[in-house]
Amino acid sequence: MDALRVFGTVVDVLGWDEAFMGVQNDDPEAFAREVQAAVLDATGLHCSVGIGDNVLRAKIATGFGKPRGIFRLTRDNWFAVMGERSPDSLWGIGSRTVKKLDDMGIRTVRELASAPVDEMAARFGPKIGPWLVGLGAGAGSTEVSAEPWVARSRSRETTFQHNVGDWNAITECVRDLTARAVDDVRGEGREGVRVALKIRYAPFVTHTASVALPSPTTDLATVTDAAVGLLDRFDHEREVRLVGVRVEMTPPENVRSH
């Protein structure tokens, strides 16, 4: 990241090894080659660079640039490159959404972009449905910010080596996971505002439930009682393979979250 910041552009850190750079340049490929050289000189590591007219296209373009390459993806070549690909080639679409789209007869990015917005809103919701259509067209934010990213929550989970049908043991597991998640929240110097419980039944069906805490807190007993209370919303006649606890936190001052 320090190597990227040398260029004097806005660097939006996406992960420990990935970032967006806010650049307007008449020869972006030449600029990308300079970035690659700087990273290689500073770290001894090669990198790929995606060029786009928004963050979505830049992110996807990086994949086409691998390994060690450069690729440009913009409005001009969006459908030529992406049109016949499956919707799960888009950043933000997973296998479950692809299955739902397939049920609607939508099997390519081009078909997603031309899907009726009202039908998509009815199937996925008034916000997600239109957003998916826009995603198919390659729509995305052009904002690149140097403000630090911060997590909205801390979570802990465990996967059992075998299916567990003893819900007393599951309750103890929830207590242990909650204690660890609360420790993480305290380490952030923040407080919990909501707790969520994830249960994956055997063989592979996941359900979640959540509840708001009475007030922002890091009191372990309060958060644990809320997490354990959520167990009442689950089917105790079924065996469990995974348990997870998530504690959503108060936002820190002057730092964005996403």
Residue numbers annotated as active site? 18
| Residues contacting residue 201 through CB under 8 Å, at least 6 positions apart | 207, 235, 238, 239, 240, 241
Query: For the residues of 56-72, what is the DSSP string, one character each?
Result: HHHHHHHHHHTTT-EEE
Q: In what order do the strands lie in the sheet with 205-217?
A: 153-164, 240-249, 192-201, 205-217
